[in-house]
């Protein structure tokens, strides 16, 4: 490459048409998965205090919301259930008439073109708020696997298009794959939360889902934030067990992990732009400190640039609208 003044890199930045022509990464509504929180009851559409613009929906209120997503060309939702009655085993998670199971059926009827992905974890359903069975004050990995498998199978039976285990138990992808295959659901993909960190960015979600642990924390099963090589081991293990898509969560503070995963593996790669990341942007925008549209699109572009194929984000609807306006 010649040096300045023969080489002038600014030449290709002169106009939007030129910038567009040489743009290396683009974000599209088709990259997004939109999280939905489904609650028990009827007639419920209630904004979540810690996540402005995000709502709790009862099953009967999902029709318009899912139709809007299709109109915006957002291809998929990720369902989280919020229940009133909880027990030590999280039995509401795998009940055939559970809130998520009902929501799956309702969405497939109201918006059959929408991909329905379900979060597979017990934390929203257990009285103690942890992601599995408690033995001697800690989550028992192997006793939790059958319950996660049962939950995933109940989602598939209700019509889910994909299941997404987020619990971070060792061996759960294999257990779920075997349960699905053994019951005739070998075409249902698994999107594994493969590198899920014990992050401080989950606070607003835990309030929205009612899933905060009642004692201790999740550091014994979610990943330690300083580690990158361990994330690659987690991802490799999930791939070997049968994951079809792997995920890094959170996104913004872990762009380096997304990049390493992209360089190491050929699997489709998702990144979760989590609740704390969303809430910080909303809070700053509400004070007039930032240009929300520009910030959001820049954040989403950074996640895509790092190597993510799929972005799970609470900004999906607004971002899809802005992108459509840009043409």
What's the CA gap between 282 and 53, in Å, rounded?
9
**Cβ-contact 54, 62 below 8 angstroms:** no
What's the CA gap between 159 and 156, in Å, rounded?
5
What's the CA gap between 104 and 64, in Å, rounded?
15
142 alpha-carbon distance from chain centroid: 24
Question: Backbone phi, then psi, for 55, in 5-degree steps?
Answer: -125, 155
Q: Which long-range contacts (CB under 8 A, 24 or more apart) does 102-105 make?
A: 102/38, 102/59, 102/158, 103/36, 103/38, 103/59, 103/62, 103/79, 104/79, 104/155, 104/158, 104/159, 104/160, 105/158, 105/159
What's the CA gap between 56 and 49, in Å, rounded?
10
Q: Which of 61, 86, 150, 196 is catalytic?
A: 196
DSSP state string for 248-292: EESSGGGHHHHHHHHHH--S-EEEEE-HHHHHHHHHHHHTTSS-H
Q: Is 81 helix (H, G, I), strand (E, B) or coil?
A: strand
Q: Which of 61, 86, 174, 249 is catalytic?
A: 249
Both tokens of 190, joined, read 């698994």
Q: How far apart are the first and last CA of the chain?
A: 34
Query: Is 293 marked active-site?
Result: no
Query: Is 108 marked active-site?
Result: no
Q: Which residues are catalytic?
A: 196, 249
């Amino acid at each position: 490459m010649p040096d300045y003044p023969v080489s002038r890199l600014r030449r290709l930045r002169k106009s939007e048409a030129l910038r567009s022509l040489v743009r290396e990464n683009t974000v599209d509504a088709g990259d997004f998965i939109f999280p939905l929180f489904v609650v028990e009851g009827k007639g419920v559409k209630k904004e979540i205090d810690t996540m402005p613009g995000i709502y709790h929906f009862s099953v009967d209120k999902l029709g318009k919301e899912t139709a809007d997503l299709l109109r915006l060309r957002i291809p998929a939702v990720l369902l989280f259930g919020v229940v009133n009655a909880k027990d030590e085993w999280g039995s509401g998670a795998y009940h055939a008439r559970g809130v998520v199971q009902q929501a799956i059926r309702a969405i497939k009827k109201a918006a059959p073109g929408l991909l329905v992905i379900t979060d597979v974890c017990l934390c929203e359903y257990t009285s103690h708020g942890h992601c599995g069975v408690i033995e001697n004050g800690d989550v028992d990995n192997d006793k939790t696997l059958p319950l996660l498998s049962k939950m995933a199978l109940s989602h598939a039976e209700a019509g889910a298009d994909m299941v997404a285990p987020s619990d971070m138990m060792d061996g759960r992808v294999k257990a779920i794959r075997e349960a699905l295959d053994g019951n005739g659901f070998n075409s249902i993909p698994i999107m594994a939360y493969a590198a899920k960190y014990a992050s401080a960015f989950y606070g607003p979600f835990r309030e929205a889902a009612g899933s905060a642990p009642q004692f201790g924390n999740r550091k014994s099963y979610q990943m330690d934030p300083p580690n990158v090589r361990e994330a690659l081991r987690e991802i490799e293990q999930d791939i070997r067990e049968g994951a079809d898509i792997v995920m890094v969560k959170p996104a913004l503070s872990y762009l380096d992990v997304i990049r390493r995963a992209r360089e190491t593996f050929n699997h489709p790669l998702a990144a979760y732009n989590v609740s704390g990341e969303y809430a910080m942007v909303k809070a700053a925008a509400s004070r007039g400190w930032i240009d929300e549209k520009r910030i959001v699109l820049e954040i989403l572009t950074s996640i895509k640039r790092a190597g993510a194929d799929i972005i799970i984000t609470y900004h999906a609807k607004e971002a899809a609208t802005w992108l459509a306006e840009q043409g």
